[in-house]
Amino acid sequence: MQGTLDLLVLRVLVAGSLHGYAISRRLAELSEDWLSVDEGSLYPCLYRMEKKGWIRSEAGRSENNRKARFYSLTDAGMEQLAIEQDGWQQFQRAVARILKKA
């Protein structure tokens, strides 16, 4: 769903900085492999959010000592996460109401 990936990535990054691969693994893990994030869509999403200033990136070393880029949340990103979460909950409630009453 449009914008959902942004919300999920922002939420995952609250725990701390992660590289792209770790973000995709974490998303799969938390959804118990129910959500499979297309890696080809993850990076455009990360770059887009970085451009908007929601996340920042810096070069570093991964756990197996390979060069990797780590993404972390900015203050603007935290605010955006709150907005996105709020929007998502409203959406969820609206859908639930329709399913119940229809």
Partner 1 sequence: MNRGIDAFREWMELRKRVREERQFHLERLRAEFEVLGLSVREANRAARGRFGSRRHLKSALHELGGDWAGLVQLASAHRVHASLWFQPALLVAGILLVLLISPAPLAVVEGVAGRPLTAADRDAVFISEQKWNLTYLGIKKADYEAIQAMDCLTNLVRHQSIHARAQVRKSVALAAIESLVRKQTGNPRLRVIPFFEHQPIVMGPAKAVWGLAGLNALIFVVPLRRSALWLGYGLAVGSLHWLGSVFVWAMAIQVWSRIAWSTDGRALLAFLMTFMVYLGLVALQCRAWWSDLRQRCPFCLERLLLPLIAGSRDCFLLNSETTESVCAHGHGVLVESKWSSRFRPQQSPLLGLIRG
Per CB under 8 A, residues contacting partner 1 are 19-21, 24, 38-41, 43-44, 47-48, 51, 62, 66-69
Nearest distance in Å: CB 49, partner 1: 9
Nearest distance in Å: CB 93, partner 1: 32
Quick check: 68 and 61 in contact, CB under 8 A? yes
Spatial CB neighbours of 80, under 8 Å, sequence gap ≥ 6: 6, 10, 52, 54
Instruction: Between 24 and 80, name the residue whose CB sits nearer to partner 1.
Output: 24
Give the separation between CA 38 and CA 36, rounded to whole angstroms. 6
Give the separation between CA 23 and CA 89, rounded to whole angstroms. 23
Instruction: Between 15 and 59, name the residue whose CB sits nearer to partner 1.
Output: 59
Nearest distance in Å: CB 73, partner 1: 18
Nearest distance in Å: CB 20, partner 1: 6
Planar angle of CA 38, 43, 67, nearest 5 degrees:
115
Quick check: 54 and 60 in contact, CB under 8 A? no
Instruction: Between 45 and 81, name the residue whose CB sits nearer to partner 1.
Output: 45
Instruction: Between 20 and 77, name the residue whose CB sits nearer to partner 1.
Output: 20
